[in-house]
Structure 1
Amino acid sequence: MKNILVLCTANSARSILGEAILNKLGGGRITAHSAGSAPRGTPNPDGIALLQEYGHDTSALRSKSWDEFAGADAPKMDIVITVCDNAAGESCPIWPGAPVRAHWGIPDPAGRGETVEERRAAFAETYRLLEARIRALMDLPFEDMAPDELKMELDRIGAMDGATELAAARAAK
């Protein structure tokens, strides 16, 4: 069982969606967590509503600091994925176990749209982009991959449709 940490600055939208999708699609292969460098304190209600609509259990989802995962008593992370460009550029804590790091930057759905329908559409698009990436990850034999090989595949996945310029550029290296 691999541990995956999904990071975003506020830990309220993209990283929360990523955690939920990974845990649902992980099929007993992974345990996903999410966190942020400056957590908002509560998950975005539009994201929670979409997850519930899509059949996810949201009862355990919460906005939390990445410091929870940097201590000696924290679960050892195998993979750390940033989903926002701000978090990708921040100085992250030293993660126990030296996990493979990747950037899957996608646009922030929070605050997009004036109406409930527009906000839902923004979150649905973010969900679609994350789900495609997570399905690509689940298609890999990541448990048996060497760290450099896994890093290369994670970067390739991060450059999929809808990637931010930063995510695409990191994959091109």
Structure 2
Amino acid sequence: MKQKNILVLCTGNSCRSQMAHGYLEHFAGDRARIYSAGVETHGLNPRAVAAMMEDGIYIAHHRSHHVDEYRNIPFDVVITVCDHANEQCPIFPGAVERL
């Protein structure tokens, strides 16, 4: 089975998208490659790191990425976790499912 490329997108790639990235990576295992990015970059929120540690998921090594860093990756799914990111979400070529 082909590994899916999944992008989680939010405004600053600091909290919600980072947490979703951690959960998706944890539960998808090797079935998907998970990326997270923002339409801006605000740095990883320490509260997100602490909240994820409560569930036993380590994300302290994550960093904020701008969506433009991933322009050349053929995503299968793009998940936006806030309205602002959904409104600013760039167009991705190919058959990308947007959630």
Whether TM exceeds 0.5 here: the answer is yes
- The share of aligned pairs that are identical, in percent, is 43
After superposition, the Cα gap between the structure-2 partners of 1:59 and 1:48, relative to the gap in structure 1 and judged at 3 Å, is closer
Partner of 1:13: 15
TM-score normalised according to structure 2 size: 0.88
Partner of 1:89: 87
Secondary structure in 1 aligned to 2:5?
A: strand
| Cα distance in structure 2, aligned partners of 1:76 and 1:48 | 28
1:37-116 correspondence runs (5 A): 37-40=39-42, 42-70=43-71, 72=72, 75-90=73-88, 92-102=89-99
Secondary structure in 2 aligned to 1:31?
A: strand
Runs of 4+ in 1 over 4 A off after TM superposition: none
TM-aligned CA deviation for residue 60 of structure 1: 3.3
On the 8 A contact 1:77/1:99 being kept in 2, the answer is yes
Secondary structure in 2 aligned to 1:26?
A: helix
TM-aligned CA deviation for residue 59 of structure 1: 4.2
| Cα distance in structure 1, aligned partners of 2:9 and 2:24 | 13
Q: Deviations 1:125-157 (Å, cap 9, x if unpaired)?
A: xxxxxxxxxxxxxxxxxxxxxxxxxxxxxxxxx
**Letter aligned with residue 57 of structure 2:** H
On the 8 A contact 2:49/2:60 being kept in 1, the answer is no
Which residues of structure 1 form unaligned runs of 5+? 103-173
**Letter aligned with residue 28 of structure 1:** D
TM-aligned CA deviation for residue 54 of structure 1: 1.6
For this pair of structures, how many residues does the alignment match?
A: 97
After superposition, the Cα gap between the structure-2 partners of 1:78 and 1:50, relative to the gap in structure 1 and judged at 3 Å, is same
TM-aligned CA deviation for residue 61 of structure 1: 1.1
Partner of 1:32: 34
Higher-helix-fraction structure = 1
Q: Deviations 1:55-101 (Å, cap 9, x if unpaired)?
A: 1122431111000111x3xx3211001000111112x3332434111
TM-score normalised according to structure 1 size: 0.52
Instruction: Compare CA radii of gyration and give the structure with the larger one.
Output: 1
